[in-house]
A = this chain, B = another copy of it.
Amino acid sequence: MTTSTKRNIKKQQILDAAEKVFANYGFANTKMEKVASEAGISKGTVYFYYDTKENLYMALTYQAIQFLIDRFYQVLDEQRAYPGIEGSLALVHSYLQFCEKNPLYADLMLDYMTVNRTTRDGMDTNRLTAALQDSIYYRKIQDIQNIPISLITQEIKRGVEDGSILNKQQPELLYLLAWSSTIGFVKLNSAAGKRQSLLNVDVDVWRTQLLAQMRQMLLVTSFELV
């Protein structure tokens, strides 16, 4: 095993540990010591691989987006032979699974958006935001951030073109409707606690309805306005 490989394994171990800890405590309440102990190493070593807490967080964000992109390509590959609506729903489904696997993923992307925003707006950038933007991973994410969105909207367009999707709204709008539903679903479930069923509603039924609603949306020509 090369030195580089060993380094990468260790980096991955840290990332895995960080994922657990950030997911349980959130960014602010996560202690580097806890990440280290979760990874079975010392604090110093964590700092050897990730020089700030913010950098570690951004590395995790980068990885999450990479995973999502990989998954999306895989789904697209599987769905190539089917109509666009199936590919689109499969993408949404895989995104939902992705977020359910670890609610942190949804937060990571939301946080990235927030950080990214303050770069543009002239907002009073606080220390935290500035530190996040300093991360090398911040730049790396900027290069790939649009890929998931791009893949999904392209698939919707394919569905519109092959006639399987009837809704003629902007693909981006359709994506936002799906994305926000997913985020809300994940947020509520995560806040309620994984074991707990919210309002006595079965989570599986809920998820199924959510997806059914999305299909419905793609099949409808237009919505009546409220």
Q: Chain A: residues with CB nearer than 8 A to chain B?
A: 25-29, 89, 93, 110-111, 113-114, 117, 120-121, 126, 128, 149, 153, 169-170, 172-173, 175-177, 179-185, 187-188, 190-193, 195-196, 198-201, 205-206, 208-213, 215-217, 220, 223-226
B212, A224: Cβ atoms under 8 Å?
Answer: yes
Which residues of chain B are near A153, meaning CB under 8 Å?
A: 199
Which residues of chain B are near A188, meaning CB under 8 Å?
A: 110, 113, 176, 179-180, 183
Partner of A181, one of B111, B181, B192, B225: B181
> Separation in Å of the A114 CB from the closest CB of chain B?
5
> Given A126-B29, A184-B185, A195-B121 in contact, is the A201-B176 Cβ separation under 8 Å?
yes
User: Within the assembled complex, what's the spacing in Å between the Cα atoms of A212 and B210?
Assistant: 15
Nearest-CB residue, chain B, relative to A93: B226
User: Within the assembled complex, what's the spacing in Å between the Cα atoms of A114 and B211?
Assistant: 25
Partner of A216, one of B28, B89, B215, B216: B216
Which residues of chain B are near A185, meaning CB under 8 Å?
A: 180, 184
B209, A216: Cβ atoms under 8 Å?
Answer: no
Which residues of chain B are near A170, meaning CB under 8 Å?
A: 201
Which residues of chain B are near A212, meaning CB under 8 Å?
A: 223-226
Nearest-CB residue, chain B, relative to A149: B199
A192, B113: Cβ atoms under 8 Å?
Answer: yes
Nearest-CB residue, chain B, relative to A106: B187
Which residues of chain B are near A176, meaning CB under 8 Å?
A: 188, 198-199, 201, 206
B215, A213: Cβ atoms under 8 Å?
Answer: no
Which residues of chain B are near A117, meaning CB under 8 Å?
A: 191-193, 196
Which residues of chain B are near A25, meaning CB under 8 Å?
A: 126
Given A89-B226, A114-B193, A173-B206, list of 18 further CB < 8 A pairs? A29-B128, A114-B190, A117-B196, A120-B196, A121-B193, A169-B209, A170-B201, A172-B200, A172-B201, A173-B201, A177-B210, A177-B213, A179-B188, A180-B185, A181-B184, A184-B184, A184-B185, A213-B213
B191, A113: Cβ atoms under 8 Å?
Answer: yes
Closest 3 pairs between A and B when the two form their complex, measured CB to CB: A28-B28, A180-B184, A184-B184
